[in-house]
Chains A and B, each alone.
Chain A
Amino acid sequence: MIFRELNNFGILGINNRVGRYILRHNKRENYPLVDNKVLTAQRAEAWGIAMPENYMIIENYGSLKNLQLKLQHYNSFVIKPANGSQGNGIIVIKEVIKEVVNGEIRIICRRSNDKLMEIDELKHHISGILSGLYSLSGQSDTAIIQAKIDKHPIFNDYSFGGIPDIRVIVFEGYPVMSMVRLPTRSSDGKANLHQGAIGAGLNMRDGSTNNAVIRNQVVNVHPDTGHKLAGLKVPFWQEILDLAAHCYDMVELGYLGVDIVLTPEHGPILLELNARPGLGIQIANLAGLVPRLEKIRLEAPKNVLAKERVEFSMKSF
């Protein structure tokens, strides 16, 4: 059987993920809490979990009218669909250029890839989001204009363009596996593995990297900065795991992907949650998820505080 080795290494396949973990442990009614980033933000605020500040929530085409006036107060921002997935439909504006023409203020936005965007293009993109172009189900959506997060200096040598983020898989409240996604030139500065970002597996013990891949191929150095990936150790590791474990209490999804970013000012904050986290994390870690998931299912104590769960995970994996 050609699958014997996959089985021996305890690698989780899509069918197994859906059938045994997602369908059994994730209640459908809790999905909107993670699928809709507006709801996630509201819930997070109530639970005291830090997320990037939402400047504006655009629900209808009418509110696009005065967009220029509203946006001129900010120096940078991110536009994203509330129901997007895999980073689709996200535009990062790193600079807002204001100029006065005939006594009117006009703004031009510079994207993270240095392309310039007129306000009309921006409105077009947002109306695309509103009509559901990027939403999970193709239904009409809400656009979020959010504070742009700055890169934590520790990642300066390890990323190209955008902000790296840390993905933690949380099962029944226990952090199971983690990786950091490092943007590259070929991923267009996005922390998206499908587009060619680096996925670097992190040891649950201390947040140091154990292995790294680009598109399923092992890499040792960052292709754009040339920096060795082995020396990276993600700071605030305990806090990151605490935050991830806490998210389980917040949305009550047994099988959860938590995306966390490190800000220079506030440390780790929650970026978004995912009810169907991908399986690429296993390649990034050179490890299968199944043994860890089963260990938690069979051995981990139930109904314990996030702190204790994190302790269990750090010791076990």
Chain B
Amino acid sequence: MRKTIFIITTLLIFAPMGMLLYKSQVLNLSLLPEMVDDVWNFHLTARPKGDKTNFSFPIPKPGPGIKISDERIRSKNFEVFIDSNSDSTLATWSAKEPIKQRVTYSARIDLKPLFYKNIPKDFTEVYPKGLSRYLKVPTLLPEDNAAIEHLEKAILEGSEDKTGVIRKIYYYVEEEIQRHTNIKTIHETLNTGKGSPLIKARLFNIMARRQKVPSRIVVMVRMPKKENAEHQKLSFTFANEVFLNNKWIPIDTNRGFFGERPDNFMVIHRNYEEVEKIISKKKVSYAIQAERARINRYNKAEFKKEVVKSDSIFSRFSLYRLPLPLQTMFTTILLIPVGTLVLSLARNIIGIPTFGIFTPILLTLFFKETSFGFGLLFFSVVVAIGIGQRYVLDKFYLLAVPRLSIILTLVIMLMIGYSLFSTDIAFVSQKHLAFFPIVIVTTNIERLSIMITEEGVFNTLKTLFGTLVISVLGYSLYSIHALEMFMFTNPELLFTIIGLLILIGKYKGYRLSEFLRFRDLVRQKKKLESASNDLP
């Protein structure tokens, strides 16, 4: 028998783990949907200056590290042309009358950091024709040209390949040119060793092209930090990209990134030279805002596609196939077994007393559906009713079932009262099932008043406290979103929970509470033993 239990328990616990391994290693499924914390709601508004019937502005284009969805260009009074060449996208708005209104563009943008760890040596000599515009060195003053030549001699000596050359130029511009926003020409920069971010990007661009490396200045938007105000206006900033080993490699001499672009920078256009005039403040006034999309912390939709695509047995049993309301329900319900695990541990291994067996779980659900503070308050009122009714209803000599039903009705009246006078209408209308758990809890509350008379206030409070502690523990489980999603994504773990419950069920050792309960016994026993040892 013991062997059978052992085998069953082992199977129950480890088979789901095996499935997890299979899913992640063989099917290459991720065990959790991806966090979509780096998704941004991006808004752009722009208006041309002067009387123009058409104007253009760059808008984001999907590419490495950037995904775009829900794009919206409002075009009620305009015609909109989207010109998407291989690198960037320009939107052109045109109307019959001069444009006086602001045009808007919004999109949901998913940014991923770019990182090229090892950039191999590059000896490319001949580039495709399309890249020739990225090799054209702009004309400079002769003295500036001389200055740059002089620089090149100093810093590029002994370089063999283009990757090495670019790295050296990067180090020079990044470290030797100080950031100074007022210095806006190459000439000044070469003389002072200072430059604005745009000039630094320009200087790098020129130096790279002089070495026959295709290079361009990218226009970026730096996303706000979390702490910053939501509606902070963002402006353009600049960095470079160079073409090494058939790839555009991001380089930022202003913030010090080589082959790397963090996910708080969004590229809006990949060739500054092309849009220099368009985005000039002289020609257009614009405003850019971005805020984190907080809804839908896990990208369930994407994960569903992933699961279905895998075409394994799991795709057939995945809860992601269910309609969305059911999914939401199961996300909540699947944590209940985890809660029972906590409950079993608390009761059978620690020895925390509770009212009824599943009261803590019901309370947990109530807290989860409403909120912790409100739930606690409401529960306290229900407890007060449970105790108070005894003093009032006792005089009526009522039978127990009608008496219980009266308490239940009182609690329901309390809910109606709350719903009518609460300003929080959304709470009432959305959570129409939220009150059910507390209704069930009410039936246990009657026992409370009996317990007070029979086992005393102290024991009752202890039990009440134990009940609350476990429900709070359960509630804290719900605050771990990853756990919620993990159970929802891998419901086979329920078998593991059964296995663990069997283990707890087979536990025959002492409870922690018994350590306290028998503490005096042990102390007395020891005293007796040492006394008998002292005798000759």
Residues of A within 8 A of B (CB): 2-3, 5-7, 9, 11, 13-16, 19-20, 61, 86, 88, 120-121, 123-124, 127-128, 130-134, 194-195, 211, 213, 216-218, 279, 282-283, 286
Contacts and interface: CB of A to CB of B under 8 A. Distances in A.
B524 A286 contact: yes
Contact of A131 (B400, B509, B522): B400
Contact of A286 (B348, B456, B506, B528): B528
A286 B531 CA distance: 15
Interface of B, helix, strand, loop or mixed by DSSP = helix
B23 interface: no
Interface of B: 348, 351, 397, 399-401, 450, 454-456, 459, 506-511, 514-515, 517-518, 520-522, 524-526, 528
Contact of A282 (B450, B455, B518): B518
Nearest to A123: B397
B509 A3 contact: yes
A133 B510 contact: no
B510 A3 contact: yes
Contacts of B521: 9, 11, 216, 282-283, 286
Given A13-B509, A15-B511, A133 B450 contact: yes
Given A127-B399, A195-B454, A5 B509 contact: no
Nearest to A134: B450
Contacts, number: 85
A13 B349 CA distance: 11
A15 B508 contact: yes
Contacts of A19: 506-508
Contacts of A20: 508
A286 B399 CA distance: 44
B518 A286 contact: no
A111 B117 CA distance: 88
A217 B521 CA distance: 9
A6 B510 contact: yes
B511 A9 contact: no
Contacts of B506: 19
Contacts of A61: 399
> Which of B507, B509, B511 is most buried by chain A, counting CB atoms within 10 A of its CB?
B509
Contacts of A6: 510, 514-515, 518, 522
A13 B455 contact: no
A216 B520 contact: yes
A86 B455 CA distance: 10
A15 B526 CA distance: 24
B514 A13 contact: yes
Contacts of B528: 286
A61 B401 CA distance: 13
A165 to B, nearest CB: 17
A195 B518 contact: no
7 contacts: A15-B348, A15-B511, A88-B450, A120-B397, A127-B399, A128-B399, A216-B517
Of all A-B residue pairs in the complex, the 3 with the closest CB atoms, nearest first, are A131-B400, A124-B397, A13-B510
Nearest to A218: B524
A252 B514 CA distance: 29
A121 B397 CA distance: 7
A61 B398 CA distance: 12
Nearest to B453: A88
Given A216-B520, A217-B520, A282-B518, A14 B397 contact: no
Nearest to B510: A13
Given A6-B522, A127-B399, A88 B454 contact: yes
A218 B336 CA distance: 43
Contacts of B517: 216, 279, 283
A64 B267 CA distance: 87
Contacts of A13: 508-511, 514
A15 B515 CA distance: 13
Contacts of B525: 9, 286
Given A5-B526, A121-B397, A134-B450, 9 more contacts: A6-B515, A9-B521, A9-B525, A11-B518, A15-B510, A127-B400, A130-B399, A194-B459, A195-B455
A286 B518 CA distance: 9
Nearest to B356: A138
> Which of B348, B507, B517, B518 is most buried by chain A, counting CB atoms within 10 A of its CB?
B518
Contact of A14 (B401, B511, B522): B511
A299 B506 CA distance: 26
Contacts of B397: 120-121, 123-124, 127
Contact of A195 (B456, B511, B514, B522): B456
B454 A15 contact: no
